[in-house]
C-alpha cells in the first residue's frame, strides 16, 4: 500500500512536470509571434486665428499648398481699426468746413484764455481765504480748551485742503500758459487750431491705415496648409471665399508639419487586446523599406469601421480599434502614406498575461467554494442575496481611503499615462481642494491642488489635454439655501509627476447668468428657468476637441428630458469670461421616470455614454446615446452610479456613491 502511494505520487509529479514544460514551451513559442496591422503617417494640425475680430481681405493659399516659415497666408482687416479710420475721416471732413481762422480771432482767443485764467485763479484764492479764516477760528477755540493737547506733528485737515488748492493753482497756471503758447505760436506762424488738429488726425489716419493694410497671418513653421475654414455654431466647416467677418479666436487656417509626427493605426477587432499604451512597435513602409521604432501613446475607446484604403476588398467592411503611435523626427515618411505596424510579443509579457488570466479564475473558484460552504451552513435559505451579490461583486474594488471624511465619488476620468483614475468627491476634509488617484485594485493617493484655496461640491472632472484637466462644482444651492462662491467654480488644473496645480478658474454660474440675460435663445430660457427656480445642478462634464459638454442633473427640459450643452470654442469661457449664443448646442436625452443624469463620457458628438441615478432610492443605470436615442446597457438595483470612465482598453468603469458612511466603490463592466 505504501509503495502504491509513492508510485502514485511519482506519477502525479511527473504529470505536473510535463504540464509545466508544455506550458513553458507554448509560452516561449508564442513569444516569437508578431501582430501586424496598418495605418497612416499623419501630423498634428495647428489652428491659426486672430486675437481680435477681423475681416478676411484675401486668402493667399489653398489647401495642400506647401508654405515656408514666415510666409504670408492671408490678409486681414481689423473691424476696430476700420471704425476708428472712419471716425477720423469724418472729423477731417468737419475740419474742412471750418477752415480759416483769422489773426483777429486768434488774438481774441488769447485774451479770452487770459480772462478765464484770472477767473479760475481768483476762485481758487477765494476758497483758500475761506479755509484760512476757518483755520484761525479753530485755533482760537482750541486754545481755550487747556485739557486738549494738539500735536504739532499732525496736520490739520483744513491745512491739507489749503495745500491741495495751492497745488491746483500751480497746475492750472501751467495749463493756461500752454494754451497761450499754442495761440502765440499760431499767430507767429500763421497756423490755425483746425490746421494743427488736422495735421494730428492725418498722422494718426496714416498710421492706422498702415496697420490695417499690414494685418495678416503668417506661417509659424514650414508645413502644408490643411484647411482654410471657419466653424459655424454647429461646429461645421465653412470655407472662406474672402471678405467674411469672423470673431476673435475663430479659426482662419490650419497648417500641418511637412513631415509626419505620428501614425494613426487600426488594429483588427480580434487582436486589439494584445497591445497597450507604452508598448514599442516597428513602423515601416513598403516602397523604400524605411523603418523606425515608435511608442504607443493612445488607444481609441471604441471599435470603428476601418478606412477603405486599408481594405483588400472595398465591398467587405472590417472593424478595428484606433491606435496612436509617436514616431521620431526625420522619419522619412510621406504625410498621409500607408504604413505597416508590427508589434512583437515577448516571453515575460505572455507569462504576465497567463498569470493575470489565471488569477481571477482561482479567485472565482475560492469564492464559489465559500458560497457553497455558506449555503450548506446557512439555516435561512430565504435570505436576500441581491445586496450580498452586489457587495461581493464590488468587494475587490473598494476605494482604500482612511481619511476622516469618506470619499463620495462624484466624477472620474482615466489617466493613460499612469493607468489609474482621477476621482473627485463632493465632500472632502475641511472642503480642501483634492483629487484622488485610484488604481484598479482600489489603492488611493490624495493629490492636493496647489494654489486653489477652496472649492466645494465637486461633481465632475474631464480630461482636457495630455496633462490638463477641468473640474467643476455643481453650481447648486446648499441644503441651507446658499450658493457660495466655492460652489460656482469651473477650474483648469495641470497634473505633472503626481502633483496637481491650479491654473485658471471662473465663476461659471455668473457666466451662465450673463449668457441668459444677454440672449433670447432656447438655451438662454433654459438657464433662466434654472436660475429662477434655484434648480441648476451640473453633474457631468466631458471634452471633445474644442467643445465642452456639460450635463445637467437639473433642470430637465420642458418635455422632461435630460439636457446636455455642447459649448464649442469653450476657451472663451476662460479667456473672455463669456459664452455667445452661437457657441451652444443642446442635446436632449430620454430618461426613465425618476432618474436624472449623474455623469457622461463623450465618444463623439452623436454617440456617448451616460449614467442616471434614481432620485428617491439607491439605484441607477448605464446608458449609451446613439442615433438620437438612449439605449439601456446595465441596471444597478441597489447602487447609485455617480461617475463613469473608460480605460485605454475600452473597459467601462462605473463609480458608485455609497453615502457618508462608506467609501465609494467601482465596478469594471468590461467592453459593452
Q: Is 565 exposed, middle or buried (0-12, 13-18, 19+ CB in 10 A)?
A: buried
DSSP line for 425-455: ES--GGG--EEEEE-TT-BEEEEEEET----
474 in any annotated domain: yes
Residues 6+ apart with CB under 8 A from 5: none
Task: Please answer whether residues 95 and 147 qualify as being in contact, where contact means their C-beta atoms are separated by less than 8 angstroms.
Answer: no
Q: What is the CATH number of the domain that holds 636?
A: 2.115.10
Containing domain of residue 108, as a range?
85-139+156-204
Task: Please answer whether residues 284 and 333 qualify as being in contact, where contact means their C-beta atoms are separated by less than 8 angstroms.
Answer: no
The values of phi and psi at residue 60, to 5°, are: -100, -5
Show the 3-state SS of 212-275: HHHCEEECCCCEEEEEEEEECCCCCEEECCCCCEECCCCEEEEEEECCCCEEEEEEECCCHHHC
Task: Please answer whether residues 610 and 595 qualify as being in contact, where contact means their C-beta atoms are separated by less than 8 angstroms.
Answer: no
Last-in-domain residue among 204, 225, 243: 204
Task: Please answer whether residues 594 and 602 qualify as being in contact, where contact means their C-beta atoms are separated by less than 8 angstroms.
Answer: no
Residue 599's nearest CA partner among 462, 400, 432 is 462
pLDDT at 600: 95
317 in any annotated domain: no
Task: Please answer whether residues 276 and 648 qualify as being in contact, where contact means their C-beta atoms are separated by less than 8 angstroms.
Answer: yes
Angle at 519 between CA 518 and CA 520, to 5 degrees: 140
pLDDT at 635: 92
Task: Please answer whether residues 625 and 616 qualify as being in contact, where contact means their C-beta atoms are separated by less than 8 angstroms.
Answer: no
218 in any annotated domain: no
280 in any annotated domain: no
pLDDT at 369: 41
pLDDT at 196: 63
353 in any annotated domain: no
Greatest Cα pair distance in the chain: 143
**Residue whose cell numbers read 450673463:** 514
304 in any annotated domain: no
Report residue 342 CA to chain centroid gap: 35
516 in any annotated domain: yes
C-alpha cell, 515:
449668457
pLDDT at 367: 41
The torsion angle over the Cα atoms of residues 207, 211, 212 and 217, rounded to 10 degrees, is: 170
Residues 6+ apart with CB under 8 A from 395: none
Distance CA 255, CA 222 (A): 9
The torsion angle over the Cα atoms of residues 247, 464, 491 and 533, rounded to 10 degrees, is: 80
Q: Which residues of the chain are under the pLDDT cut of 50?
A: 2, 28-31, 147-148, 153, 233, 235, 347-396
C-alpha cell, 426:
463632493
Last-in-domain residue among 171, 204, 237: 204
pLDDT at 420: 93
Integer angstrom CA distances of residue 453 from 433, 472, 555, 573: 7, 14, 29, 21
Dihedral sign for Cα atoms in the order 597, 600, 603, 609: negative
pLDDT at 102: 60
Describe the crossing of helices 193-214 and 79-98 by its angle, rounded to 10 degrees.
Answer: 160
C-alpha cell, 596:
436624472
Integer angstrom CA distances of residue 634 from 91, 421, 617, 619, 631: 71, 21, 17, 11, 10
Last-in-domain residue among 148, 176, 204: 204
Task: Please answer whether residues 183 and 196 qualify as being in contact, where contact means their C-beta atoms are separated by less than 8 angstroms.
Answer: no
64 in any annotated domain: no
Is it true that the peptide bond before 182 is cis, omega within 30 degrees of 0?
A: no
Show the 3-state SS of 502-563: EEEEEEHHHHHHHHHHHCCCHHHHHHHHHHHCCCCEEEEEEEECCEEEEEEEECCCCCCCEE
Distance CA 424, CA 366 (A): 34
Q: How many domains does the chain have?
A: 2
Amino acid at each position: 500500500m505504501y509503495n502504491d502511494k509513492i508510485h502514485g505520487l511519482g506519477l502525479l509529479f511527473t504529470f505536473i512536470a510535463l504540464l509545466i514544460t508544455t506550458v513553458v514551451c507554448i509560452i516561449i513559442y508564442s513569444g516569437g509571434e508578431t501582430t501586424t496591422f496598418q495605418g497612416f503617417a499623419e501630423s498634428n494640425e495647428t489652428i491659426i486665428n486672430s486675437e481680435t475680430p477681423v475681416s478676411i481681405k484675401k486668402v493667399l493659399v489653398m489647401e495642400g499648398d506647401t508654405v515656408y516659415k514666415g510666409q504670408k497666408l492671408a490678409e486681414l482687416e481689423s473691424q476696430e481699426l476700420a471704425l476708428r479710420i472712419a471716425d477720423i475721416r469724418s472729423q477731417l471732413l468737419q475740419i474742412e468746413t471750418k477752415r480759416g481762422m483769422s489773426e483777429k480771432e486768434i488774438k481774441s482767443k488769447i485774451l479770452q484764455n487770459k480772462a478765464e485764467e484770472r477767473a479760475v485763479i481768483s476762485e481758487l484764492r477765494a476758497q483758500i481765504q475761506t479755509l484760512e479764516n476757518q483755520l484761525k477760528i479753530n485755533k482760537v477755540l482750541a486754545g481755550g480748551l487747556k485739557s486738549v493737547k494738539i500735536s504739532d506733528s499732525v496736520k490739520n485737515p483744513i491745512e491739507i485742503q489749503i495745500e491741495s488748492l495751492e497745488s491746483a493753482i500751480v497746475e492750472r497756471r501751467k495749463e493756461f500758459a500752454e494754451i497761450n503758447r499754442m495761440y502765440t505760436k499760431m499767430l507767429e506762424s500763421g497756423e490755425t487750431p483746425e490746421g494743427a488738429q488736422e495735421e494730428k488726425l492725418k498722422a494718426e489716419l496714416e498710421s492706422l491705415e498702415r496697420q490695417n493694410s499690414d494685418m495678416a497671418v503668417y506661417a509659424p513653421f514650414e508645413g502644408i496648409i490643411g484647411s482654410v475654414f471657419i466653424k459655424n455654431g454647429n461646429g461645421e466647416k465653412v470655407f472662406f471665399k474672402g471678405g467674411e467677418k469672423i470673431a476673435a479666436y475663430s479659426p482662419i487656417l490650419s497648417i500641418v508639419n511637412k513631415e509626419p509626427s505620428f501614425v494613426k493605426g487600426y488594429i483588427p477587432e480580434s487582436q486589439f487586446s494584445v497591445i497597450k499604451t507604452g508598448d514599442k512597435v516597428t513602423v515601416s513602409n513598403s516602397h523604400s523599406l524605411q523603418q523606425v521604432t515608435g511608442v504607443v501613446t493612445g488607444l481609441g475607446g471604441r471599435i470603428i469601421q476601418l478606412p477603405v484604403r486599408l481594405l483588400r476588398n472595398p465591398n467587405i467592411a472590417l472593424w478595428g480599434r484606433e491606435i496612436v503611435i509617436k514616431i521620431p523626427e526625420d522619419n522619412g515618411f510621406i504625410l498621409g502614406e500607408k504604413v505597416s505596424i508590427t508589434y512583437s510579443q515577448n516571453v515575460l509579457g505572455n507569462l504576465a498575461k497567463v498569470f493575470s488570466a489565471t488569477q481571477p479564475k482561482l479567485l472565482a473558484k475560492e469564492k464559489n467554494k465559500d458560497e457553497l460552504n455558506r449555503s450548506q451552513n446557512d439555516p435561512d435559505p430565504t435570505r436576500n442575496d441581491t445586496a450580498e451579490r452586489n457587495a461581493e461583486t464590488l468587494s475587490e474594488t473598494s476605494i482604500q481611503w482612511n481619511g476622516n471624511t469618506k470619499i463620495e465619488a462624484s466624477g472620474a476620468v482615466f489617466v493613460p499615462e499612469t493607468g489609474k483614475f482621477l476621482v473627485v468627491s463632493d465632500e472632502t476634509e475641511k472642503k480642501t481642494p483634492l483629487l484622488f488617484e485610484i488604481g484598479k485594485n482600489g489603492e488611493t493617493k490624495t493629490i492636493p491642488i496647489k494654489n486653489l484655496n477652496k472649492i466645494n461640491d465637486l461633481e465632475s472632472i474631464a480630461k482636457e489635454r495630455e496633462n490638463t484637466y477641468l473640474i467643476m462644482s455643481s453650481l447648486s444651492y446648499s441644503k441651507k439655501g446658499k450658493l457660495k462662491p466655492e460652489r460656482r467654480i469651473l477650474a483648469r488644473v495641470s497634473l505633472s509627476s503626481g502633483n496637481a496645480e491650479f491654473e485658471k478658474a471662473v465663476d461659471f454660474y455668473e457666466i451662465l447668468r450673463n449668457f441668459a440675460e444677454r440672449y433670447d435663445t432656447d438655451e438662454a430660457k433654459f438657464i433662466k428657468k434654472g436660475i429662477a427656480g434655484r434648480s441648476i445642478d451640473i453633474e457631468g462634464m466631458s471634452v471633445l476637441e474644442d467643445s465642452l459638454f456639460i450635463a445637467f442633473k437639473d433642470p430637465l427640459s420642458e418635455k422632461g428630458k435630460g439636457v446636455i450643452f455642447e459649448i464649442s470654442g469653450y476657451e472663451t469661457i476662460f479667456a473672455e469670461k463669456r459664452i455667445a449664443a452661437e457657441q451652444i448646442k443642446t442635446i436632449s436625452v430620454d430618461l426613465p421616470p425618476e432618474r436624472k443624469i449623474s455623469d457622461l463620457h463623450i465618444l463623439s458628438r452623436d454617440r456617448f455614454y451616460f449614467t442616471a441615478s434614481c432620485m428617491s432610492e439607491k439605484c441607477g443605470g448605464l446608458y449609451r446615446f446613439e442615433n438620437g436615442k438612449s439605449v439601456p446597457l446595465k441596471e444597478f438595483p441597489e447602487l447609485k452610479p455617480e461617475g463613469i470612465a473608460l480605460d485605454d482598453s475600452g473597459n467601462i468603469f462605473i463609480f458608485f456613491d455609497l453615502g457618508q458612511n462608506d467609501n465609494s466603490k467601482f465596478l469594471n463592466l468590461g467592453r459593452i
